[in-house]
Structure formats: C-alpha cells, structure tokens
Amino acid sequence: MTTVAFNNNTTASVADWIKDRIKPEQIEKYLDDGRCFIDAEAIERALDANRKPDPKRVRDIVQKSLAIETLTPEETACLIHVDDPELLAEMRQAAQAVKIKVYDNRIVTFAPLYLGNLCVNNCAYCGFRSSNGSEHRRVLTLDEVRREIEVLAGQIGHKRLIVVYGEHPATDVQYIASTLQAIADVKVKTRRGWGQIRRCNVNAAPMSVEELAMLNEVGIGTFQVFQETYHRPTYERLHPQNTIKGNYLWRLYAMHRAMEAGIDDVGIAPLLGLYDWRFEVMALLYHAIELEAKFGIGPHTISFPRIEPAHNTPLTQNPGYAVGDEEFKKLVTVIRLAVPYTGMILTAREDAQLRREVLPLGCTQTDASSRIGIGGYADLIDGDQQGDRQQFLLGDTRSLDTVVRELAEAGCITSFCTAGYRCGRTGQKIMGLLRSGKEGQFCKLNAVITFREWLDDFGSPETIAVGEKVIAQEIEQVREKMPEIFDQFMRYYEKTQAGDRDLYF
C-alpha cells in the first residue's frame, strides 16, 4: 500500500485518507427535496426557447445589467444566442461599462503558485492525474515555499497569490495552513521599501466544514473550487467513481460548506472545453443565484479557464467541446452582463493577443510572470515551461512589468491593493458596495497608492514613464470626485513616495 510522509513526518495511508474525505451529511443538508440546484432540463429549455432573440428584448436585458442586477436564466439564454454583429457590439460596450461602474478602471494582478502535484484523483484532462506516470512528482517543503516567495515578492513584485494545492494527504489542510503562514512571514528588501505577499487566495480540493473553519481561522482570501463541468453525465465520465472527485455533489456544494464555515469570499468556474460552453455559462449563473439565495452572497470571482495542452494527456489535444476565440469573447461578455457584481479572472492560459482583446470585456483580474511548474519561480528562467512539472501549458509567460506597462498604455491602473480583505470588506459588506458602484471609487484611492509603491520598488524606467501618466490622471479624478478626502489621500501618497509601505484606506 502506498504511504506518504506528511504533517511533521507522521505517516498515513493514502487509501485510509481517501476513505474518510466525503461527508454525505454535509451534502444532503443543502439539497432541496433531494435535488441539487443545477436543473439541467430547465437550462436546456431556456437555451432552446431563446434561440431567436428579439433586439428590443436584448437591449432591455442589457439595461438591467447596467443597473447591476443579476440576470435570470431566460435573460442570460437570450444573450447567449445573440449573433447580430451590431447587438454583440452593444453588449461588449455594456460589459465594459458595467466593469467600470463596479470596479473603475483598475486591473488587479496576481501570480499562481503551485505547491505540489501529488493527487489521488484521475481526471482524464489533467496532467496531475494519478495515472500519469511521466509526471515528475513533488511537494514543496516550507523552506522551498519561502524561496518561491522571495522571488515573487522580492524580485517580481507581486502582492497577492492564488496558491494551488492538489488533493492528497501530503497537501492536506494542515499543510495548507503551514504554507500560508510561511508565505505571510517572508519579507524582502526591495529598491525603495520591502516586498511581501499580503493576500493568499486558495485553490484547493473540496473540504469538510470543519476543515474550512480551520482555514478561515488561519485567514485566507478567496476560496476557489472549480466544478470543471456542471454537466453531470460528462462530469461522471471524466472523473472515475472510485475517486474523491468522482462525487459530483461533494464538489458542487463545496462553496456552501465554505460559507457555513465563515469563508464569505468564494470563486467558481467551469473548465471550458469539457462540455458545451452555453450550458456551462447557464450553470455558472445557477450557482451564483443559489449562493445569493442561500447565503445572501454571490461569488466574489468567476473564472473561465479554457482547457490547454498538458503533458502526456491526450484528451487535452481534442477535448470534444473546444471553445474558439470568438465564442470565448462572447461568453466572457455574457458572464459580465449576467453576474454584473462579480470579479472576473482572465488567466495566462490565453496568449497575449487574446488577453488584450478580452480584458476590456469586463475582466477585473489577471496574472503575470506566471510559472506553474512546481518550484518554478526559484529555479526556472522567465518563460521556461517544463511539461512534466506542471498541470498544463501556459499561453502567456510575459513579465509583470511588461503587463503593467501595457495596461498603463491602455489607460488602466494596476492595483496591488489588498486592503479590503484585511479591513473586513468581504461577503455581504462588499456586495452592497459593488452593486452601488461605491467600491470602485473607494478602491481607486488604494490603487493609486499601491501602484506608486510598485513603480518605485519594481518598475522598469519604461514602465515608470507610462505609469506616471496614469497616476497623474487618477489623482486628478480623486480631486474632482472625492474632494472631501483628497488631502488625506495625498498625505498617504506622499508618505509612500518617501518610502513608507502598505498604507491604505
């Protein structure tokens, strides 16, 4: 029997660990008369009934989005079927307007950090699947984690991460808690001040309420669990039933358990390409509506990763429901309009050109300088990829400096702010601010201060030159729109220029 060492050299059986993972009572309590909230038949009916959208109805629906109201499934199905170029252009303009209204012109950047690629599951599309014998397996020690952070926080300049863990006893909840603490403890001298990771979002396997309560006590940012596909027959075909991940409902209700455990900041997504994207977008909406109905809080972020090639994983070469670039732009637009309050994450799975085209359609977050090979920040050169050390191959490995400069040239400010989460502006507190449009204005202040800090500590001369223009533009907007707080804002800004760090409102 395979054994692994974890939790300070305690040895445990993988098979025994697997046996106790799923808690049926923590599924059944959330069901409605024994049924889950994904109504596949209703989704198909809505899609079928809205195949020929009326232009006036489309424009009325768009106006509802602009009022920052969540759309109904029927309204979303109507937008999904829009093919008229003029209407599509109006939808894209509205998506951008919704994003500006809710989040201003900020783009938040982050880096993914994979800490291990051991996994007990055997998902057909994943390079980390247990049957992939050509994968180089590794779990980072705490010292290795610290070395990764020294690069991320001290050389590149990231302030927030999405930390990714496989489902395995070697990366269990105790390991997650220990690595989060190790990440928080690293502080690195920079050009003018110091660098430190201030927010760790966590992408991990579904957990019990008790384990999630432990993570909430440790302190995490957004908790992500991606459903992969909401279409149950496809899910069951791709995830063997003798694995933890083979239980569709255990994964589907992961966010319910997180909310019950006190984690009120969650992120959801499908893996596009496993099933029809139209169904997946509708199911995302159902998930958002369910969370709003049960907990009063929708997802703080929605992601839309497309399946990418993975080492020794044939399914990724022909996934069956590949999403083309134009379809991808359309579904991003529809998601922004359907769930107008949510943050939207565009990742480096996509190539640089497509990211330039998709970001303006309502996205709020993106990664840069991304390396997803285990230990890749400390021991790989920029842009290097090693397929047998990572879950899939990236489409864009450009540096954070390059991405920040390009965003500035487009008139966007890169925000490195993590203040809201440390001040408790999460869950229901932030939802009201997002829906009213107040959050975007409030966060503008912290965006300017953190952008100033990053430029002084990490920016290249070329990026600083472009960034100064954006900062001047933002400061003038603060003067015009928030005169009552302008003097205090400028005091914080000037302190940051002088070398103070981590100031925020």
The one-letter amino acid at 164: V
pLDDT at 430: 60
Q: How far, in whole angstroms, is CA 493 from its chain's centroid?
A: 29
Report which DSSP code applies to 455. H
pLDDT at 6: 40
Containing H/E element for 5? strand 3-6
HSE toward the beta carbon, residue 313, CA cutoff 13 A? 26
**One-character DSSP codes across 185-253:** H--EE-SSSEE---EEEEE-----HHHHHHHHHH--S-EE---B---HHHHHHHS-TTSGGG-HHHHHT
Give the separation between CA 450 and CA 493, rounded to whole angstroms.
Answer: 9
pLDDT at 381: 72
What stretches of 67-159 adopt beta strand conformation (E)?
106-114
pLDDT at 386: 86
- 339-to-41, 175, 344, 475 alpha-carbon distances in Å: 22, 34, 10, 30
125, 313 Cβ separation under 8 angstroms = yes
Q: In angstroms, how far is the first alpha carbon of the chain from the final one? A: 54
Alpha helix (H) ranges present in 36-123? 40-49, 55-66, 73-80, 85-103
Give every CB contact of residue 356 below 8 A, 6+ residues apart in sequence. Answer: 406
pLDDT at 11: 40
Give every CB contact of residue 154 below 8 A, 6+ residues apart in sequence. Answer: 186, 188, 189, 190, 195
166, 130 Cβ separation under 8 angstroms = no
pLDDT at 436: 60
Alpha helix (H) ranges present in 277-339? 277-295, 325-338
Go through the domains of the chain in sequence order and give each one's CATH number: 3-32+97-436 (3.20.20.70)
Report which DSSP code applies to 412. P
Alpha helix (H) ranges present in 383-437? 400-409, 419-422, 427-436
Give the separation between CA 362 and CA 342, rounded to whole angstroms.
Answer: 10
Give me the helix-helix angle, 486-497 and 461-481, nearest 10°: 160
If phi > 0 it is left, if psi is from -120 to 50 it is alpha, else beta; for residue 263 that is beta
Partners of residue 367 on adjacent β-strands: 110
Q: What is the mean pLDDT of each run of 10 residues along the chain (505 residues)?
A: 36 82 97 96 98 97 97 98 98 97 96 97 96 95 98 97 97 98 97 96 98 96 97 98 96 98 97 98 98 96 97 94 98 98 97 98 98 93 83 96 98 91 62 59 88 98 98 96 94 96 89
pLDDT at 109: 98
pLDDT at 314: 94
What the block records as the tokens of 249 is 């409902």
